[in-house]
Chain A
Amino acid sequence: MAKRHFDIKAQPGFAFLAMFTFAALYLPIATLVAYAFNASDSVSIWGGFSLKWFVEAWNNSAVQDAAWRSLVVAFFAAAIATTAATMAAIATTRTEPYRGLSFKYAFINQPLMVPEIVTAVALLIVFSRIKVWTGYSGLGYLIIAHTAFCIPFAYLPIRARLESMDLTLERAAADLYATPWMAFRRVTLPLLRPGIIAGFMLAFVISLDDVVITEFVKSGGQDTLPTYMLGQIRRTVTPEVNAIATAFLALSVVLVTAFFFINRQKT
């Protein structure tokens, strides 16, 4: 029987490669999650089912402290980044195309392209100077750094939403006596809301997840959950890390799933 068209799935090795890729992706995660429920103290020897590591992590004040800091930084960074990204998205879509517009896209999306370690080192140098000058060493540095790399993640879904929006609607609002500001508030913004929420959630997850820049920028005692975990693993590995990672994973999955559904929403 002759095949009518090229079918990648029929190629030898395709199934194996697919299985291997999924296994490489998900087996370690599955193992990590499984051992989070391990009753024994070892991360490699199964000692029966237990929630004790979750309880332990929950009651660990260092974990509480890091988790709270992660959420605070992620919230403020995502909020500021989403606001900036919304303005940037409107400015780059509600305009006649001009020379330099694609350069602006690249400029806004720069954090996606520049190696994170470069940004981290650069921020470290600048912030340490500022710390010396001002004496301020609070969470602000982390929030600013996170805001900077969160902007493109918030920008992309918002821009996509704006581009798919029917421009006639804004014209109709203007036709019905809405000033540009009222047209924005009463028509563009409500229609943009799913994109903004999606952008915020994506930025939030990206901020929660960050290790490299946080590790460089944080002052002493400013661990976020990921840098706390990194610190733990350097010392002794206990299933407590697995439990934290599992809780973290659950939160990310919830947020990303919500992002997916919100982004699909029509209006």
Chain B
Amino acid sequence: MPEAKPSNTLSIMRMRLGSPQTSIWVQRMPEPTGADDKRIAIEARGIVKAFGQGPSALRALDNVSVSIRENEFFTLLGPSGCGKTTLLRLIAGFEYPTEGAILLHGDDIAGLPPFKRPINTVFQSYALFPHLTVWENVAFGLQMLGKSKADIEARVAVMLKLVHMEELAQRRTDQISGGQAQRVALARALAPSPKVLLLDEPLSALDYKLRKEMQIELKRMQNETGITFVFVTHDQEEALTMSDRIAVMSRGKVLQVGSPWDIYDKPADRFVADFIGETNFLKASVVSIENGVARVMLASGTEIVATIAEGFQPRDSVTVVVRPEHARAVQQGGQLSGSIENVVYFGTDTHIHIKLDSGELFTVRQQNSRTQSCGFKVGDRAGVEIAPDAAQVLRD
């Protein structure tokens, strides 16, 4: 399925997210299309998972529905306690839903025990069997499936090669490093060729450099094996760089499902905007609305244009959202004005924190050039110029 990868390319291009690529204004790219007709691998339908009973029960998942496509790198993203791991465990079979169905290629598997599901998991702690060697760990699933000795040997060899662990096959698992343990866990989970691979924050125990390497490795393995990956993380950057699509979760609900591009540039609500990347929030009131675009008046009295979600009326009090890289600090002019509170140099770019005259804080992020500093120092007066199309009014 060579044509099925446009979104992969896109997410790799987005890998340097956090610093604008070319100019102050991040270019808008068209969102990938044509992926909608792909087959669904996993579908969660109206999932409720309650812990405890009665009215005091904790709803870890509250009517969650998501469809994960075949051969997709799908990420469940959210802060801790949002229910992402619970959803993963329901798919794996370690927990059973209180209500709802989990469909694997159309069959309801919600009631099956984990050993009857063609789904494997890479655990956060890796959970390698400490009494077995690397080789025996990778072979475990194949042995349980009753494969022949020859098949097992061939398959384990392929898997160890895939994760570059051939040389350490006879090591005990306490004699390998964290990064190697991670690879073994991956090989072990991939060896039985599951229909879906679940990854529960597998990179969180690695240091920064290794984590970056593994992100690329994981993407490569997903491409090579063609297996659907469901990845759980609380790290928004990790989610944006690796995923074909992301489901942002909070408090047991799915707030938005979309490509990294969608999630970042067209957040469905304030939570998503705030959770993914840095964002400025400005108080404003709606002056007029036309075709999804509103004129809003900011606290400073300036009117700006912002895209607006449905359900708002003129004179509503709203919050306008502007990404730091979609605005810049200027000596004169700009829709907002204030004084420079802090200038933070980040190498590739500079973050300028501005205290607006309205009292609100606003951060702009602009790319550095080799020859020129940003030209502002703490205490200077500055204007803020918001890029056209950059401001959005979101649901709370």
Contacts and interface: CB of A to CB of B under 8 A. Distances in A.
Interface stretch (B77-85, B120-128, B316-324, B352-360): B120-128
A177 interface: yes
A173 B130 CA distance: 12
B57 interface: no
Interface in A164-188: 166, 168-169, 171-180, 182-183, 186-187
Contacts of A187: 129, 131
A191 B123 contact: no
A177 B121 contact: no
Given A168-B125, A182-B144, A174 B130 contact: no
B192 A177 contact: yes
A266 B92 CA distance: 29
A190 interface: yes
B94 interface: yes
Contacts of A174: 93-94, 113-115
A169 B188 contact: no
Contacts of B128: 172
B57 to A, nearest CB: 15
A185 B259 CA distance: 44
B29 interface: no
A173 B131 contact: no
Nearest to B117: A175
B312 interface: no
A267 B93 CA distance: 27
A176 to B, nearest CB: 4
A125 to B, nearest CB: 47
B1 interface: no
A171 B120 contact: no
Interface in A236-267: 266-267
A179 B189 CA distance: 16
A174 B130 CA distance: 16
28 contacts: A166-B125, A168-B125, A169-B129, A169-B130, A172-B127, A172-B129, A173-B129, A174-B93, A174-B94, A175-B93, A175-B114, A175-B115, A175-B120, A175-B189, A176-B120, A176-B141, A176-B144, A177-B192, A178-B115, A178-B144, A179-B144, A183-B115, A186-B140, A190-B131, A266-B130, A266-B174, A267-B130, A267-B131
